[in-house]
Amino acid sequence: MPGVQPEFIDEAFVRGFITAREIAAESIDDDAVADLIHAVAENPEAPHEAVVARGRAPRHGEDGYVELDDDVLNQEDRKHEVWRRALEDNDVAEHTNDDDDEAVDYYAQSAFRVVTRGQKLGRVVQPTLGEDGFDVFGARLAARDGKPAPTHLDESIEKSEDHSLSARIAGLLEDGEKRLRVNNELTISGAVDFSTGNIDFPGDVAVAKGVCDRFCVKVGGTLTVNDTVEAAHLVVAGDTTLRAGMTGREKGTIRVGGTLRAKFIEQATGSIGRDLVIDREISQCSLDVAGRVAGASAILRAGELRCTGACELAEVGSETGVATGVVVGKSPELERLAAEAADVLPAAHDRAARLSGELATLKANMARLTPQQAEQLTELEFELDTANKRVEPLLQALRTLLDTIDLVADPTLTVQRILHGGVSIWIGGDLVTIKGDLRGPLTLKLGLDNHPVFIDARTGSRIDAGDMVRIAPDPRFSNLASLRAAAANSPAKAA
């Protein structure tokens, strides 16, 4: 303030000087004014500068955003940490097999965020309002309110009144910049290997390449694999398509709830809940098929194939006579249950018959019964009623099981090209041993007497296989004819 004597510079003077320049009173910094006055008084000869008025910048509102819960985020974080350690170890397989407490199972580290139905995912953080500012002249500086979260939530995400988010379905959580959803289809662009870890997914899975040794793929829907499945483990609730096939190397397993379609299956163990559709070969496998086997151009070589429905193959066995087994028209689990029911039934009948006889004896002498015998009569009536109540559901269960077996079983084997010597076929209650090559197309099925017969598949006429075949009863499976006789001849209850 040139020309002003220092002794005149006080608070009133400074404030007046400021307001004379149209500075808003609320912008004046009282502490800065006081410090300036003090500095001038301390050193009046020196020049002094100070900022004595300040505006306030506008405080813009914060945009809304989606915040995922830590346990959801940590699925990805754990994967990254495991792979950091894997790179440090520089030997994934060796570290996986390490016996110390800090060994990491790299096979089990999933690369995907898989969530369950109803799982809490996070919340939508709401935008905040802005707060206006002003300049030193008191003019308003407008603030911008925050914008709602830009992330689109599709129908797979449920948003509650408190803005929390949960999954409406189980599946893969896809967290994009502008979209959050749960996808019940998982597409793997490469192979199932250490880059993906084991797969445990509730929906459908498609694998662009193959499945490497020792990895597990568990799927709640359908599975499609475009390249070879090695000595891995597949557990699929629905249908499975192996566009190449499976080389199990005696370690691979496959369990499919629906239909399995594959080009080939080698050295694997498994069960198929419905049909098996095979293009080229089944080699050295042990497979259970609850439905039919459709392989008109496929070869079955070594191992054993067991199916409940009809079985069609191009060739069974090999020129070298390698042991190959086929079981057709058998439902082992249902037959086991039926056999257990039939085994229990005679004892239950005998007990009911014995009680009925004792009861009849007492009733024949009603007039001469002692009080003790009258009490015994009442007890026998109760025991007989209880015994009959046990027999009736047991008999009904046996008949239901046999009806179900008749419904699902189709003991028919069709071979289009050749049935080699060395093949063993279980059909009905018999074991059919092929001693020499039989040319197809031929069909093996049960005749009217429930014994195996060979039929020319082209003409429908019966084939006399002669010395090329040995047919003999075999106790490996239940004799359904005897079980049916037991069910038919058993009275419902003792009189």
Residues 151 and 70 placed together within one structural domain of the fold: yes
Omega cis (within 30) before 393: no
Global pTM reads: 0.73
**Average of per-residue pLDDT across 64-86:** 68
d(CA 225, CA 207): 5
| Model pLDDT, residue 489 | 63
Question: Which H helix or E strand runs over 115?
Answer: strand 114-115
Q: What is the pLDDT of residues 198-252, one digit of tens each?
A: 999 999 999 999 999 999 999 999 999 999 999 999 999 999 999 999 999 999 9
d(CA 300, CA 317): 6
- Mark residue 220 as left, alpha or beta (left: phi above 0; alpha: psi -120 to 50; beta: remaining): alpha
Residues 36 and 75 placed together within one structural domain of the fold: no
Residues 125 and 179 placed together within one structural domain of the fold: yes
Segments forming the whole domain that contains residue 30 = 1-56
Residue 484 lies in a domain: no
d(CA 286, CA 333): 16
Residue 307 lies in a domain: no
Residues 96 and 154 placed together within one structural domain of the fold: yes
**Average of per-residue pLDDT across 323-352:** 77
Q: What is the pLDDT of residues 70-79, one digit of tens each?
A: 888 776 555 5
Residue 169 lies in a domain: yes
Count CB atoms within 10 A of the CB of residue 187.
Answer: 12
Residue 17 lies in a domain: yes
Indicate whether 44 pLDDT > 90.
Answer: no
Q: Any idea what the CATH number is for the domain that residue 109 is in?
A: 2.40.50.100
Residues 76 and 153 placed together within one structural domain of the fold: yes
Residue 125 lies in a domain: yes
Residue 118 lies in a domain: yes
Residues 179 and 118 placed together within one structural domain of the fold: yes
Q: How far apart are the first and last CA of the chain?
A: 128
Q: What is the pLDDT of residues 260-319, one digit of tens each?
A: 999 999 999 999 999 999 999 999 999 999 999 999 999 999 999 999 999 999 999 999
Indicate whether 92 pLDDT > 60.
Answer: no
CA neighbours within 13 Å on the CB side: how many for 270? 35
**Per the structure, how many domains does the chain have?**
2
| Model pLDDT, residue 75 | 64
Residues 95 and 167 placed together within one structural domain of the fold: yes
| Model pLDDT, residue 413 | 97
Rg (CA), the chain: 42
Residues 75 and 110 placed together within one structural domain of the fold: yes
Residues 91 and 169 placed together within one structural domain of the fold: yes
d(CA 170, CA 220): 10
Residues 124 and 97 placed together within one structural domain of the fold: yes
Residue 439 lies in a domain: no
DSSP of 31-68, one letter per residue? HHHHHHHHHHHH-TTS------B--B--BPPPPPEEEE
Residues 89 and 177 placed together within one structural domain of the fold: yes
Q: Which residue has the higher pLDDT, 380 or 196?
A: 196
Residues 104 and 12 placed together within one structural domain of the fold: no
Q: Which residue has the higher pLDDT, 328 or 21?
A: 328
Residue 104 lies in a domain: yes
